[in-house]
Structure 1
């Protein structure tokens, strides 16, 4: 079964930029943002399981009926292409292990692979990722962390020293033109995976404490192993009239999702970065985050912080935003200003500098 190869017009015309890079994708926000910026500065070949709307060459693995066979085909394509490029950028360590020429490799670790904090169904991947990361670090492969918090976790928990910390950017589709005004009724948004690591119960407990104190509703958007448990918890605590639980929205609908809310809440106290927090800030939403982890690092003084895992502390900050129009509008303005400090252009420049060092 052939592997689909896409060629850009520039490639067809024989355009040969200085650096040739093979890369694997990550989430859509990251893939579009980073490789969209890099496309004009280097020759990118994306080795992927699906096609992205990007002006780069793409090798897309075909769909096959056998479990994990498609990933195996992707790995074979990456191995084959790696011999004809200057740099291979893998977005997880397990993918990096596939590359024969480790001296060409750069790996971005989008977190810290700790099998003890994930559900049983995902543990096998974290075990594999952890072993792969330790091996690559031992071989001297440059490891990029996505926040200082993540770099610290890698160093203290695994003994891995990151070669660089490179922040994500935010796509222009999320950027608001003006701060929000204080609404008559609030809609609190939580948008993440429904897993224990993300601590969604903290928000439900805070909502329960706020009952009768303000006019608001809360929306939990996401999917995952805790979905049934969260749904039952909402019903048992009599929160069905206040809290709604729904499926994740497609990437193209995310800007509308943020626009429909008035406050964004993040509850994970060990978040590696917090891309959703950054996008919510860019859209002008006041954000409330735990006083720890990558989300706190990203939001900085633009967020109202609460004590990690403390639903009473979270409820106090939410109530302050809902009751104080001046505070609400000030925090909306701060969100936009803080998000303006993050860009995919800057991230691309930092990655390009790292690629050039590896390619020497």
Structure 2
């Protein structure tokens, strides 16, 4: 089976700029899969065979960047002749490419915010053209909002547990935030909460890892300037962007990882990585996060006065509860290991290519 994965135009398929989608694609790709995306500097991620997009020039230069990317994808498809195309997070692109081969549209975010899927009519039409797969039931429900029930498949994100760094038996007294330094991820809520907690936890430290983008040359923003100034004032260490390997190493050492997202996370990969790394997790209760963490994390709303602070103090002051959450998190993370996810994806691919679902 010849499978071509199409990355979003802005998704970098390299170690120094990989986001959640690129990492997931690399974990799941077979060696013979082609992965299509914009060119990257240096070595691409190891999953599959990376095929850099060949930019289109005249007579296409008047088109938007998205349309030029679509034309480049269509050219690559004619050359590679895949049996199945898997498009991540781009409904309009998936619809266009469905004229050339069977398509999986894999949704990692709220489809109602995406071009080509904002209205119920657009989403209903897509179901006639492609097979829709979502990373959580929350995303599935958003897709089917104002539609009759339909065959939208949930396939959660996954981790390669065998590739994680060794977990420390004696974890460091660190409360860790990992994520993009934007308001949606609750970076400022983490700083606010630590300002109240720090005086009650003199032997602990707080660390923030993240930038505005998943890349080493991420731009500075006024939000980052403000949050980092506030972090400095309360003694929070902030590292800026770190590679995914560095993030996982930090999670393997930290006693507590906080995921204080205001934005309804479609899945919550950071929370899953933290659980798999053995940290005790504090998670917001929005979006797909409750599906990911289950009963293996404390839940705290980032903007409800005292909730995040109380959760931090509760775990800082209770070794036994931290150890129990660590145990529960590790147990839950095993259900998201990559071998089972790869087998599930292979089954879906065979079904679609064989026409079992009439797509």
213-222 vs 70-79, which moves further: 70-79
How far apart, in 2, do the equivalents of 1:193 and 1:182 lie? 24
Show CA shifts across 1:59-105 (max 9, x none). 222579999498356423444246x2221111122431341436611
Say which SS state the counterpart of residue 225 (structure 2) adopts. helix
In structure 2, the CA distance between the partners of 1:168 and 1:238, relative to structure 1 (3 Å rule), is closer
Match of 2:215 in 1: none
Show CA shifts across 1:15-46 (max 9, x none). xxxx22111246332022111xx34xxx4222
Report matched runs for 1:188-203 at 5 Å.
188-203=175-190
How far apart, in 1, do the equivalents of 2:23 and 2:250 lie? 15
Match of 1:166 in 2: 155
Match of 1:75 in 2: 73
Say which SS state the counterpart of residue 200 (structure 2) adopts. coil
Give the superposed CA RMSD: 3.2
Report matched runs for 1:1-360 at 5 Å.
19-25=1-7, 27-35=21-29, 38-39=30-31, 43-49=32-38, 50=40, 52-54=44-46, 56-61=48-53, 68=65, 71=69, 74-81=72-79, 84-92=81-89, 93-101=91-99, 104-115=102-113, 126-127=114-115, 130=118, 134=123, 137-156=126-145, 161=150, 163-172=152-161, 175=164, 180-181=169-170, 183=172, 186-215=173-202, 216-224=204-212, 227-235=221-229, 237=230, 239-269=232-262, 270-307=264-301, 309-360=303-354
Q: Shift of the alpha carbon at 1:322?
A: 0.7
Show CA shifts across 1:217-256 (max 9, x none). 2222222288432432453x57534223332212332322
Match of 1:14 in 2: none
Contact 1:195 1:226 (8 Å CA) reproduced: no
Any stretches of 5+ residues in structure 2 without a counterpart?
12-20, 213-218, 355-359
Say which SS state the counterpart of residue 46 (structure 1) adopts. strand
In structure 2, the CA distance between the partners of 1:103 and 1:22, relative to structure 1 (3 Å rule), is closer
Match of 2:18 in 1: none
Contact 1:188 1:218 (8 Å CA) reproduced: yes
In structure 2, the CA distance between the partners of 1:52 and 1:228, relative to structure 1 (3 Å rule), is same
Q: Shift of the alpha carbon at 1:170?
A: 0.6
150-159 vs 172-181, which moves further: 172-181
In structure 2, the CA distance between the partners of 1:103 and 1:20, relative to structure 1 (3 Å rule), is closer
How far apart, in 1, do the equivalents of 2:56 and 2:84 lie? 29
Any stretches of 5+ residues in structure 1 without a counterpart?
1-18, 116-125
How far apart, in 2, do the equivalents of 1:301 and 1:128 lie? 36
Contact 1:29 1:171 (8 Å CA) reproduced: no
Contact 2:98 2:129 (8 Å CA) reproduced: no
- TM-score, normalising length: structure 1: 0.78
92-101 vs 342-351, which moves further: 92-101
Q: Shift of the alpha carbon at 1:156?
A: 2.4
Say which SS state the counterpart of residue 252 (structure 1) adopts. helix
In structure 2, the CA distance between the partners of 1:250 and 1:173, relative to structure 1 (3 Å rule), is farther
Say which SS state the counterpart of residue 310 (structure 1) adopts. coil
How far apart, in 1, do the equivalents of 2:324 and 2:122 lie? 42
